[in-house]
């Protein structure tokens, strides 16, 4: 059974160097284009139909670091992903607002 773990930005930053972690930005396209975590995949959770379809195509065996601006939308995204059978999901607490690491434009 899937269980989303809430993780700190510091924990997330340490884990980003591991190739097995997929970074998933669930904010709007505008927010994503203003800056995102390195190597992030973008799927807007507010477009729920598209999110379900696109997330469903991802490899369910990988570990996903999901984030938004503050942590609320990413928690929603993680819940949807759990329902789809994803087993390893990390929700970054505080979202990109709390992120201290590198941001890509």
- CA neighbor of 102 nearest in space, from 17, 29, 7: 17
Task: Match 């696109």 to its residue by tokens.
Answer: 54
The CA distance from 77 to 104, in Å, is 22
Q: Which of 68, 81, 89, 92 is catalytic?
A: 68
> What would the two tokens of residue 4 be?
């989303």
Any catalytic annotation for residue 23? no
Count CA atoms closer than 13 A to 105's CA, side-chain side: 0
> Would you please indicate which residues are annotated as catalytic (active-site) residues?
68
């Amino acid at each position: 059974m899937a269980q989303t773990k809430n993780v700190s930005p510091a924990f997330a930053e340490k884990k980003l160097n591991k190739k097995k972690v997929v970074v998933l930005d669930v904010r709007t396209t505008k927010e994503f284009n203003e800056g995102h975590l390195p190597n992030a995949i973008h799927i807007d959770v507010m477009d729920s139909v598209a999110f379900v379809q696109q997330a469903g195509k991802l490899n369910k065996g990988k570990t996903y670091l999901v984030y938004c601006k503050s942590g609320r939308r990413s928690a929603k995204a993680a819940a949807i992903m759990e329902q789809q059978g994803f087993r390893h999901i990390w929700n970054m607490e505080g979202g990109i607002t709390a992120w201290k690491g590198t941001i890509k434009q």
